[in-house]
């Protein structure tokens, strides 16, 4: 069956297509003198025919698509689902739609996604993935977008773009201090940096955007402040899948002098570490304390419930949408920044060091 057109609506209602267009665009009884009876008749026919306006045509006429793009780093991690949830909640409340893309685990792929979204007819773009800032090509695309004043906001530090900043520096200090207070002296870190970052370097990146520097650096500082050595053997890098966390934990827990506690860069990898401890016959927290990050929904349902930290990514998602929509309304306003503090949450996976 042929999709009904605006012409079909006009013919059945007995009015011109211009009248139908005025009603559809909300101009009746405002800028164009159309009676309430005419408006109701047109709307009734629209309902009868099941007519749906062409979104592309409407976007061309208005210059707005009511669609916002979002690029997240890794679609497999529930932490980023929470972010997308917050973004979508706020967009929906404001009459916008979400176009979601994942940069996956490759800077090159992230760059391609960035370029592709920049070519689409969207009203603005939210960037979460650090990878798209790692190449000259991505920087060139970003510069072009900002030059034509395309609305962009970022989750994470940026010197010129509107941003919502939430990092784990303070939470890591709190977590490490808590483990030290429980008499843990060999504290390991599973530092889940993606392998493709090895050649990129992190010296010029903000602390919260280099794959966990906001956890690595405070961890090292806290150990030194407590008079403990920073043992490279207790710090291991791995990939982003649960299996990577499992294998990394096995490596650490098989050391002759194994750690009695582990900080794991995110809850997803901590699930793998929890399984590794179980497979080695270690009890959590009696033999090993585990601390994750992100407070994904599963964290409070594991056995034991996971000690972790939360950035409240649903709130972060909502806040970054507010910044972006305000930028769309006022392109000239100064750069805006919102800080969201992370919270350290003590549950059942941490306890006194075994003696």
Indicate if the pLDDT at residue 201 is higher than 80: no
Tell me whether residue 242 is in a domain.
yes
134 pLDDT tier (thresholds 50, 70, 90): low
Tell me: do 178 and 294 sit in the same domain: yes
Residue 226, number of CB atoms within 10 A of its CB: 12
Indicate if the pLDDT at residue 200 is higher than 70: no
Indicate if the pLDDT at residue 59 is higher than 50: no
Instruction: Say if CB 327 and CB 314 are below 8 A apart.
Output: no
Tell me whether residue 333 is in a domain.
yes
- CATH assignment at residue 76: 3.40.50.2300
Tell me whether residue 45 is in a domain.
yes
Per-residue confidence (pLDDT) for residue 15, from 0 to 100: 87
Least confident among 17-21, 134-138, 161-165, 283-287? 134-138
Tell me: do 294 and 324 sit in the same domain: no
Tell me: do 176 and 161 sit in the same domain: no
d(CA 230, CA 187): 9
Buried-exposed string 285-319: b where 16+ CB fall within 10 A, e elsewhere: bebbbbbbbbbbeebeebeeebbbbbbbbbbbbbb
Tell me: do 84 and 135 sit in the same domain: yes
Tell me: do 31 and 119 sit in the same domain: no
The number of domains in the chain is 3
Indicate if the pLDDT at residue 60 is higher than 60: no
Tell me whether residue 280 is in a domain.
yes
Per-residue confidence (pLDDT) for residue 209, from 0 to 100: 42
Per-residue confidence (pLDDT) for residue 51, from 0 to 100: 78
Select from 271, 276, 238, 240 the least CA-distant residue to 259.
276
- Across residues 158-183, what is the average pLDDT? 95
Indicate if the pLDDT at residue 114 is higher than 50: yes
Q: Which domain holds residue 318?
A: 64-166+313-339
Tell me: do 296 and 199 sit in the same domain: yes
Select from 133, 197, 200, 120 the least CA-distant residue to 161.
133
Tell me: do 295 and 197 sit in the same domain: yes
Tell me: do 216 and 300 sit in the same domain: yes
Per-residue confidence (pLDDT) for residue 68, from 0 to 100: 93
The phi and psi torsions of 289 (rounded to 5 degrees) equal -95, 140
Tell me: do 274 and 150 sit in the same domain: no
Tell me whether residue 59 is in a domain.
no
Tell me whether residue 256 is in a domain.
yes
Least confident among 65-69, 279-283, 312-316? 65-69
- Across residues 214-239, what is the average pLDDT? 95
Tell me: do 184 and 303 sit in the same domain: yes
Tell me whether residue 271 is in a domain.
yes
- Across residues 78-84, what is the average pLDDT? 93
Tell me whether residue 350 is in a domain.
no
Tell me: do 138 and 217 sit in the same domain: no
76 pLDDT tier (thresholds 50, 70, 90): confident
- CATH assignment at residue 29: 1.10.260.40
Phi-psi map region of 114: left, alpha, beta (phi>0 left; psi -120 to 50 alpha): alpha
What is the percent of the chain where pLDDT is above 70?
83
Q: What's the pLDDT tens digit per position in 278-300?
A: 999 999 999 999 999 999 999 99
Tell me: do 322 and 302 sit in the same domain: no
């Amino acid at each position: 069956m042929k999709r009904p057109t605006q012409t079909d609506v006009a013919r059945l209602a007995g009015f011109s297509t211009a009248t139908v267009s005025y009603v559809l665009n909300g101009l009746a009884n405002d800028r164009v003198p159309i009676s309430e009876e005419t408006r109701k008749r047109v709307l009734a026919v629209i309902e009868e025919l099941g007519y749906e306006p062409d979104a592309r045509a409407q976007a061309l006429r208005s210059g707005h698509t009511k669609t916002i793009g979002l690029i997240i780093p890794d679609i497999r991690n529930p932490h980023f689902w929470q972010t997308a949830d917050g973004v979508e909640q706020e967009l929906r409340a404001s009459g916008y739609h979400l176009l979601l893309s994942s940069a996956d685990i490759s800077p090159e792929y992230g760059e391609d996604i960035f370029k592709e979204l920049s070519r689409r007819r969207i009203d603005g773009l939210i960037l979460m993935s650090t990878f798209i800032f790692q190449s000259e090509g991505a920087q060139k695309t970003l510069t072009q977008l900002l030059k034509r004043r395309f609305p962009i906001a970022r989750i994470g530090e940026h010197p010129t773009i509107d941003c919502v900043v939430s990092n784990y520096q303070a939470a890591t200090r709190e977590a490490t201090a808590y483990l030290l207070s429980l008499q843990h002296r060999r504290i390991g870190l599973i530092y889940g940096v993606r392998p493709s970052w090895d050649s990129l370097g992190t010296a010029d990146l903000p602390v919260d955007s280099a794959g966990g520097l906001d956890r690595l650096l405070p961890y090292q500082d806290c150990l030194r402040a407590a008079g403990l050595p920073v043992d490279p053997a207790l710090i291991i890098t791995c990939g982003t899948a649960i299996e990577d966390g499992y294998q990394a934990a096995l490596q650490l827990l098989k050391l002759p002098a194994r750690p009695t506690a582990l900080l794991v860069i995110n809850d997803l990898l901590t699930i793998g570490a929890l399984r590794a401890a179980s497979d080695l016959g270690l009890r959590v927290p009696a033999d090993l304390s585990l601390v994750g990050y992100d407070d994904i929904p599963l964290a409070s349902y594991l056995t034991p419930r996971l000690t972790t930290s939360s950035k409240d990514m649903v709130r972060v998602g909502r806040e970054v949408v507010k910044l972006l929509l305000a930028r769309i309304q006022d392109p000239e306003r100064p750069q805006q920044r919102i800080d969201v503090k992370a919270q350290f949450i003590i549950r059942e996976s941490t306890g006194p060091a075994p003696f």
